[in-house]
Amino acid sequence: MMIPQVLGIIQRTYTGSARTRALGAYTAVMAVGAAAGQIAGGGLVSAALFGTGRRPVFLVNVPIGALL
């Protein structure tokens, strides 16, 4: 839900080549995040920690929520 807002901020804040660099950095971060999420999820599912199958995928948010 935040993607349109972030892109709007980039469009309003930067101009010219700075905008191009900002959009390139944003695209790179989104691509790496999407790939890393798929790899981490697949790793958790295939690891089957403690014989729980796919359930550890849902526990990823617990430490993040506790930290926040």
Q: What pLDDT is stored for residue 5 in this prediction?
A: 95
Domain residue spans in the chain?
3-67
- Which among 1, 26, 33, 30 has a CA at the least distance from the CA of 11? 26
3-class secondary-structure state, position 43: helix
pTM of this prediction exceeds 0.75: no
Q: What pLDDT is stored for residue 55 in this prediction?
A: 75
pLDDT digits (tens, 9 = 90+) for 36-45: 989 988 887 7
Token readout for 17 is: 């080549």
Tens place of pLDDT for every residue, the chain, 68 residues? Answer: 888 999 999 999 999 999 999 999 999 999 999 999 899 888 877 877 777 777 777 777 888 889 88
